[in-house]
Structure formats: C-alpha cells, structure tokens
Amino acid sequence: MNILDVKMIEENDAEAERIRDYLKKLLCSLWIQGESFSAKRPFGNSGWQIELYQSLAASGLVKNCKKTVYDDGIIEYYYDSETESLMDDLIIEAIYNL
C-alpha cells in the first residue's frame, strides 16, 4: 500500500482524508503563512505529527503499535521511539513521493 493513500484518522486538524491530502495542506499552510508559519501549530493545534502517526498505526502498516479503545469510543495507538522513528522515515518517503 502506498503511504500517501493511507486514510487519516477521522478527527484531524487539517480535515484531510488521506496522508497525501494532509501533507499537501501542510505545505500550502507553510507557503501561505511564510515566515509566520508555526511549525508547532500549523493547523491551530500542537501535536499535529501525532495525527500522522495515529493514522499510520491504524492502517496496520506499522507493527508494534498497541491499540487502546476508551469508554467514550476514542481509539489511540501507542508505540515506542523506534517505531516512531520508522514512521518518520515513512512520512519522509511519502513527502518525496508527492
């Protein structure tokens, strides 16, 4: 499966359907905001990279992710630093393939 085609988690600040759309919106945000761009809050909230990590974990492409379902229906995935580093590599590869 192409990383760019991975579905984003439903609630993401970019309101993107797929990782491809998320990365395009991120680049557009950078371009439009120019030197005012906030790498900490490109879509208004911090922690934006987690939305990509959670989407990759949910896709099943990345192993070693533990899924937790809370009483309110929220699903979160947990992973170690090695797995996060692998996800960073996948996202960088996806950016190059845009």
Residues 6 or more apart whose Cβ sits within 8 Å of residue 46: 40
Helix %, strand %, coil % of the chain (to 5):
50, 10, 40
At residue 27, φ and ψ (nearest 5 deg) are -65, -40
Q: How many residues does the chain have?
A: 98
Q: Is the pLDDT of residue 44 over 80?
A: no
Work out the percent of the chain whose per-residue pLDDT is above 90.
67
Determine the Cα–Cα distance for residues 89 and 68; give it in Å rounded to an integer. 24
Residue 40 has, within 13 A of its CA and on its CB side, a CA count of 1
Work out the percent of the chain whose per-residue pLDDT is above 70.
99
Lowest mean pLDDT among 34-43, 54-63, 82-91: 34-43
pLDDT reported for residue 37: 85
